Amino acid sequence: MTRALIIIDVQNDFTEGGALAVDGGAAVAGAISALLAAHPNTYGHIFASRDWHDAEGGNNGHFAVDAEPDFVDTWPAHCVADTTGAEYHAALTLPESTVHILKGQGQPGYSIFEGVDGSGEKFGELLIAAGVTHVDLVGLATDFCVRASGLDALEHGQQVRVFTDLIAGVAPESSEQALAELAHAGAVLATSEVVEQA
Ligand code: VGL
């Protein structure tokens, strides 16, 4: 069994004060860092994604251009590549070995499986190359990118745990729905208390 920690989109724009702020986002950043500090050797593989949208062109319908966002399919501009909003939240401390994944270049890109590393290698290929069979999923936002990434991980044959104390969502109802959907598809909903010392 090889387990990886997958950290979804803990970026300034998805935390308090950001363009698409999720309540509790900053707390999630701090809590993920605390988990990693308490368990420095548990995860041999850590992947962290960032939404990395184009400034121009609406990213294939993802940004509301000349219209009001509906906060379901269209969004205010957020996480534009190379801006402060796209940076990891300052409270997120990642180990040197973290593999950084960028996604959403010109696309909605909700799932980390749509992302690539710095050499353009697809996330799914990286998981396979690392022999990962089990993933623990944390980050933002529960009802969109965590949901999509978890469902894709299950489809890719991974055993998935979602740590409900290390996620935060855009809206309570859709977040609850997303967790129900993930559980129905085979994910285990747990808290990070189950993480064992390596
Ligand atoms: C996300 C809304 C729009 C997310 C991304 O990271 O969950 N949510 N784009």
How far, in Å, CA of 15 to CA of 183, rounded? 25
63 lines ligand 1 (CB under 6 A): no
- Give the per-residue pLDDT at 128: 97
CB distance 140 to ligand 1 below 6 Å:
yes
Alpha helices in 7-113, H assignment, sequence order: 25-38
Tokens for 169, please give them: 């969502």
- In angstroms, what is the span from residue 1 Cα to ligand 1's centroid? 30
Q: How far apart are CA 4 and CA 153, in angstroms?
A: 12
Active-site residue 122, yes or no?
no
Ligand 1 contact via 52 beta carbon (within 6 Å): no
Give nearest CA residue, ligand 1 atom 2.
144
CA–centroid distance, residue 39 to ligand 1 (Å): 28
Average pLDDT rounded to a whole number, residues 131-145: 98
Q: Is 9 a catalytic residue?
A: yes
- In the chain, the percentage of residues whose pLDDT exceeds 70 is 100
Is 0.85 topped by the overall pTM?
A: yes
Predicted confidence at residue 197, as pLDDT, reads 77
**Does ligand 1 lie within 6 Å of residue 145's CB atom?**
yes
Checking if the pLDDT of 107 tops 90, the result is: yes
How open is the CA angle 85-94-116, to the nearest 5 degrees?
Answer: 65
Confidence class of residue 129 from pLDDT cuts 50, 70 and 90? Answer: very high
User: Which pLDDT value is given to residue 198?
Assistant: 74
Read off the pLDDT of residues 44-67 as tens digits, 9 standing for 90 and up.
999 999 999 999 999 999 999 999
| CATH, domain range 6-128 | 3.40.50.850
List the residue whose alpha carbon is closest to atom 6 of ligand 1.
Answer: 145
Domain boundaries, the chain: 6-128
pLDDT cut 90: percent of the chain above it: 98
pLDDT of residue 61: 97
Residue 80 has a pLDDT of 98
pLDDT at 192: 98
